[in-house]
Structure formats: structure tokens, C-alpha cells
Structure 1
Amino acid sequence: MRPGRTGSVVPRGLAPIALVLPGFVLAALIILWPVLQLGQISVSEVNRFGQIRGFVGLENYAAVLADPDFLASLLRTGIWTVGIVGGAIVVGLPVAIILHQDFYGRGIARVIVMLPWAVSITMTAIVWRWAMNGESGMLNSGLRGLGVLDTNVTWLAQASTAFPMQILIGILVTVPFTVTILLGGLSSISDDLYEAARLEGASTWQSFRRITVPLMKPFLNIAVVLNTIYVFNSFPIIWATTQGGPANSTDILVTYLYKLGFQFGRLGEASALSLLMFALLLALLVLYVALISRGEADR
């Protein structure tokens, strides 16, 4: 093919496709091929060694959907995801606003806030498991020293306390990433807007509500989408602290999936659950993006 006016060997209309194609092929190899493999396993009878015995249709899907543990894990995953993502936003936004201000020691404060992000999530969960030990944990010792508790609490031995504490750990490890995104958004807002608002007599709350929140919406949306993907599939915290116990009462979908596949050897059902989780997460993200787009179009 002869070069065009621009000297390129690729026609102008095909240039965008040529630029995107390598990334698409790489994504297909990394994502689409495993999904296709899971699709094949999910409609087959598979022994615990991964050998396909025959075609069973949708029996694996039906078995998963009829399992009470699946429905309980699905509800718990919703609470887990909303609690951590929402908590990270609620905590992260004020922290980001404070760290955006110019004060002595701001650099050190930013480093301290980012430290949990630098530590392995599994190690963080293990440290908290030790801290929440019912007999010798630092959490009980500290709360007794402050007079909050009279006796030790077995935090991880009952779902009523274990699951809320796991959500709090999840918020702790999610806040640094959220703060990073929000700091980038705050840095993009011109100080001239706040100066103009002060000259017009606007209070700090009015400036926050009329300037900060509207201009931060794109960054808040990014934080919500990325954190939802991350938290929905988060495995280490639950597994390192309770392994889904006691009596599966803290299982979320990803730990329930692990048990199906690697503890019970039900690989066909585990593959079906993987695809159901993929479809559910994709549908939620598409719905969220559609609602955000519609809201921006209506303004």
C-alpha cells in the first residue's frame, strides 16, 4: 500500500483501529480466553482434579442459585461492597480536603495516610486478627484501659461483631487509594473559584457544596467504580481473619467461590459462580455509569 499524504502506510480511517488492536488482543488473551474456558467448565461435569467428564447444561448454575449459602453470600457481598466503598468515600473526602490544605507537616501527614496502602492487605488482616483476639488482643486491652469494656469481647467468634469489624478493616485499607484519587481532583480545582466565592460572602460550607462537590463528581465516580471492582472481589480480609466463619456467617461471594472450588472440589459450580459474579459486577457498573451519564445529560 502506498503512503498517503501524511506519509503513513495505514489509511486514516483504520489508524484508530490499528492503535487499539494490540491492546484489544492482549485483553482478549488475558480476560476473554479464561472466560471462555470457565464457560466450558461451567456447563460440564468436572471432578476435583479438573477432568471434564461430560456435558450437563445449566445444572451447575441451577445448583449454585438453589444453594442457600449462595443467597446469603450474595446479600453479604452487597453489604460488604456498599459499606466499604461508601465508608471510604465518607472518610476519604474530608481527609483529602485536610491534606490538600497548606500546613506544617503536610508531607508527613500524607505519608502516614498512605502507609496502609503500602502494606500487604493480607498482612494487615493478620495483624488485625491478632489485635482482635478475644483473650490477649490489643483491641480488648485498649478498650478496657479506656473504660469502654468491662470484659473481653470475642470479636471474630460471632458474626454480629466479626463482619462489621471486617468492613472497618476494609475501609481502612481502601481509604489511602480513595484519598489519592480525591487529592488529584482537589488539585485540579482553581483557587480563584474559592477566592471569588469568599469575596461574594460565601461560607466554607457553601463553597464546599457549590464548588467542591460539583467539580469533584468525576473523581468521586472514578473512586466509586474502581473501589467497587476492587472490593467486590476482595478476598484476603475475610479469609485471613475468619475464613468465612463462624459457620459461613461472614462468607462473601469470593470466599464462597474459593470453598466451592478448592475445599469442596465442585469445580463446575465454582466456574458457574465465577461467571455469575462477572456478569453481576459488569451489570452493576454499566447501570451505575448509565445513571451517572443520564444525570449529567439532564443538567
Structure 2
Amino acid sequence: MGRATPYLLILPSFLMAAFIIFWPLYQIGQISLHDVNRFGMLREFSGLANFQALFADPDFIAALWRTLIWTVGVVAGTLIVSVPIALILNDDFYGRSLARVIIMLPWAVSLAMTAVVWRWALNGESGMLNSGLRGLGLTSRNIEWLADASTAFPMQILIGILVSIPFTVTIFLGGLSSVPDDLYDAGAVEGASRWQQFTHITLPLLKPFINIALVMNTINVFNSFPIIWVTTQGGPANSTDILVTYLYKLAFRLGKFGEAAAVSIIMFALLLVFAIIYVRLAMREEQQA
């Protein structure tokens, strides 16, 4: 009984978590394998017909690739920008507390509201960005930022990076606060430059926190809906759709609930594969260390 006690104590929580996770997954799986009417009622079993219809749809393939670009671009950009910001905010300087508050403030605003503000700023006729560029003499005409995918999608990635910075900086600040100052003092005595201290002390000790930020941001960004939807609704002509907005259109505009459920299964599978690969690589690094 002694050895089994810890497992018995966590069993109720484990069963509840399993139910919360696997019951919706089972329901979505059922929908994806059936023909479904517009009211969400299951009809005859259709097998993999919904999945076949998806992979025959060029809009789905385009949304899939665009989702990968969106996720990699936002996550990589966030990590690259957040590290130096966290290093600056970790230093002791006058006004550091205020600077930290300013960096964290966007985190308190809903993502949808932030996207609305950016949609106003990127308006082709009266947006603040065009007004600022004209005021600086960088352009003589208004740019329709959200009317063309060549400008809309990069701007959406930029917005995604900006809104992801507060959360990521918070994680990095927690990691930096755990690095002993004695290590930097010893490095300085040995003649190490600031860059050498960063590459040989800060970065290795910050790696676990970078890994946490990488996983959390990947999951959040991959499933992120508000930025794309509020700014362009996947347009123009579906040219900025990612999987989650494509799924929404399938379900609630076209009434194709079976195909929408199939998209959900594919998204879950992609994230599961990412998680498995990441965990295996992390375990391999620990074993080598």
C-alpha cells in the first residue's frame, strides 16, 4: 500500500485530466469520420473522405504551409527579440521597474483588442503607420498594408512577435534572476568580454527557459486566431489564412463540419509530433550531458 499511495492520490486528477482531453478528441474524431449536416448531426460513416477532400483542396495546402511560416516566423522572431530585452531589463538602472511595467503592459490587453488597434493603424487611408511614414518623408503615397498578402502577412507576423514579447521576456527574466552574479565576477576576473560571458555563462544557463518559451510560444502561435481574423479574416482571397482561420470558415461559413473536424485532428497531430520530437531531442541532450 505504501508504494501505491502516491499513485492513488493523483489518480482522480489524472482521470479528470484524461477525460477533459480525450473525450473532446474522441468527439472530434467521430465527426471527422462521418458526413455531418449543417446542424452538426452525424449522418452516415464516410471514413477518410473528409481528409481526402482537405488534401484535394489547394486552399488547405496553402493554409498548412502558411501556418508553418507563421509559427516559425513569430516564434523565432520573438525569441531573438526577447533575449536582448530581457538582458537589458535584468541590468540595474534608473527606471528599470517602470521599463518592466511598460514591457508587460501589452500582456494585460486582450489579443483581439490589440489586433483591432493594429487594424486601425494599418488602414490604407487614415492609418497611423501611413501618416507616420509620410511625415518622415519615407513615402509619398498611402500603402494598403492589409489589401495584399505580400504586405498583410508579414505585418501579421510582426504583430504576432510584438504581442508575444511580454510573456517571453517574463520567462527569460525569471531565468536570468537565477544566474548567480559570482559567475560573471569570475568571468570578468578571467578576462572574459561581455559577449563571451553571454555565450558561455548566460546562454547555457538560460537554455531551459528558452526551451520553455519555445514550446509554449509554438503551441500558442500555432493555434492563434485573433490576429489573422481581426486584421484580414484570412483575406484577401484567402491569401493570409492559416489552419485555424481556414477551419473556422469551413465550419461556420461553409457548414462543412466534418472537414473542419478533420482540420482539428491534423492540427492536433502536428502539435503532437512537434512535442514528441522536442521531448526526444531534449532527453538525448540530457543523456549526453
What TM-score results when the alignment is normalised by the length of structure 1?
A: 0.95
Corresponding residue number in structure 2 for 1:35 = 25
User: What is the identity, as a one-letter code, of the residue corresponding to 1:269?
Assistant: E
Q: What SS does the aligned partner of 2:215 have?
A: helix
Paired with 1:107 and 1:19, the residues of 2 have a C-alpha distance of 42
How far 1:289 moved relative to its partner?
Answer: 2.2
Give the corresponding residue for 2:126: 136
2:208 alignment partner AA: P
> What does 1:11-30 align with in structure 2 at a 5 Å threshold?
11-30=1-20
AA partner of residue 293 (structure 1): M
SS at match of 1:13: coil
Equivalent position to 2:209, from 219, 230, 234:
219
Which runs of 5 or more structure 2 residues have no equivalent in the other structure? none
Deviation, structure 1 residue 26: 2.1
In the other structure, the counterpart of 1:236 is: 226
What residue in structure 1 maps to residue 170 of structure 2? Answer: 180
Partners of 2:84 and 2:200 in 1: how far apart?
16
1:69 aligns with 2:81: no
Name the residue aligned to 1:256: 246
Q: Which runs of 4+ in 1 moved over 2 A?
A: 295-299
Q: How do 1:78-227 and structure 2 match up within 5 A?
A: 78-227=68-217
Q: What SS does the aligned partner of 1:148 have?
A: coil
Q: Give the percent of matched residue pairs that are identical in Structure 1 and Structure 2.
A: 66
TM-score using structure 2 length = 0.98
Q: Distance in 1 between matches of 2:10 and 2:198?
A: 40
> How many residues get paired?
289
Q: Could you tell me how far 1:273 is from its partner in structure 2? A: 1.0
Rounded Cα–Cα distance in structure 1 between residues aligned with 2:40 and 2:223: 23
Q: Which whole-Å CA distance do the structure 2 matches of 1:18 and 1:183 have between them?
A: 37
How far 1:144 moved relative to its partner?
0.9
CA distance in 2, matches of 1:271, 1:222: 29
CA distance in 2, matches of 1:291, 1:65: 30
Q: Distance in 2 between matches of 1:19 and 1:209?
A: 44
Moved more, 279-288 or 198-207: 279-288
Quote the residue 1:45 is aligned against. 35
Cα shift readout 1:4-29 (whole Å, capped 9, x = no counterpart): xxxxxxx2221221232222222123
Unaligned runs of 5+ in 1: 1-10
What amino acid sits opposite 2:23 in the alignment? W
Shift of 1:230: 0.4
For the aligned residue pairs, the C-alpha RMSD in angstroms reads 0.9
Distance 1:107 1:45 in 2: 57
Counterpart of 1:275 (choices 265, 268, 279) is 265
